Structure 1
């Protein structure tokens, strides 16, 4: 796992690793000069947010001298140049060394003028510890759908859905079928209408909220609420969708199709 993998992680997992001091993010508004670091980024660097002013130059200065060239300089970022990914050694104020996976992105205007820069960092010094945390998050997400039929999901710009494996177990279809065509879970007499309504929000990248009747592998039919919102980067580029799915029967009992 490296910093690029954080894009596909759930908000819960991101909060967990930030709280443990092994991940964090930074952003820099080039126009205003404002720079902001997340609490996790301060912890990752071993710095006190009460006495430290966020500064990209400070981050560069804390890297091992042999690794600094892997990142764009502050001047290069102002000119619209970033180093998309890097693996570097960080020297903390206490002398401890950590290995960081860094991912950086540039936000630009329609004319290509650099407007902002941002990045995320992941401490990969102890990859086994990270693997265990990630595995625990996966188990939590999986158990959630098995016990409550509720989950979060994401949809890429290719319209491929990312669902937990347990959704296939609950509904009786293969995960590949559900990933490519999530409407297969909807009961036949509602499927086409629900599909058309859901797909209409992709082109204008609009918000979506609807309900569907879905059949489970045990034959029960449950009513679900589906919520989806578009995702954008700082340059206004569409990055896909994120959403939630959860049952809405007040009694928790199955309904008739």
Structure 2
């Protein structure tokens, strides 16, 4: 005789999970926290995860001013102040740095929303902070690696690429500038960087050498965008990651002998088009300028500078050249490096515009 199942197994549907339970599970990772502010009562609430993210004890009272006080001074103008939230109902999305009471720094993404009454008055606001420090550090490491590779390419004509298989087809812009080709042309025919008379040789040799799965090198003569040709060495190294077959190949390309041929210069227009809001913020951070400082130096409004840094205005904005000119006038250098990445640096011996503090 079969017995009835206990009640806890009788209903296969999952138990109800409240939004509070969801938030508790998510905040257990220590990477996010939420806050709420009721304007009518003045009551402010922080989640436990937000206290942990900010490095504060839960005995501290929840306060938007306290949260603002933890934002890095160079980023503080990006965050809406109390008056903008209470009276204008403005609360945007930003990526800023926080300085915890113990001195540690974290990078967070802030997202918020203001709620309005039927007559249009702001009555409450809520927000969430997400810790993206590791993501930003990885992005910085990637940027530095790109800069290192670009420096090797430009100063010594040394190129490094990794691809899942051979032959190579996904060269970077520096190498493509050297041989005067577009990536689509190389994808259509991987032999196009080589002088045509060597195509039969490398068409047969490279697949055979790659099939052995061992490091090897070839010495093709590359066609040059500036005219003529030059011999290069391509060292191919298989990476296995514990697998018997290569999971990818890394190629190191160097001049075979003599001085490296020059690359075509990247046009200023290419650099201008690649500059985004994050690069403007980085430049301002290098100068230790606030949004107001940049607005005064460039002669544009504070709200325009904010929109440019948030990419709310397109590259065709008439104010954009004035902002870029002000940053360059203060010693900022924008450079386009491998992969289309914009490097932002402060030149030695830079100048400080009158009325603007220099860090």
TM-score, structure 2 length as denominator? 0.34
Q: Which has the higher helix share?
A: 2
TM-score, structure 1 length as denominator? 0.46
Structure whose alpha-carbon radius of gyration is higher:
2
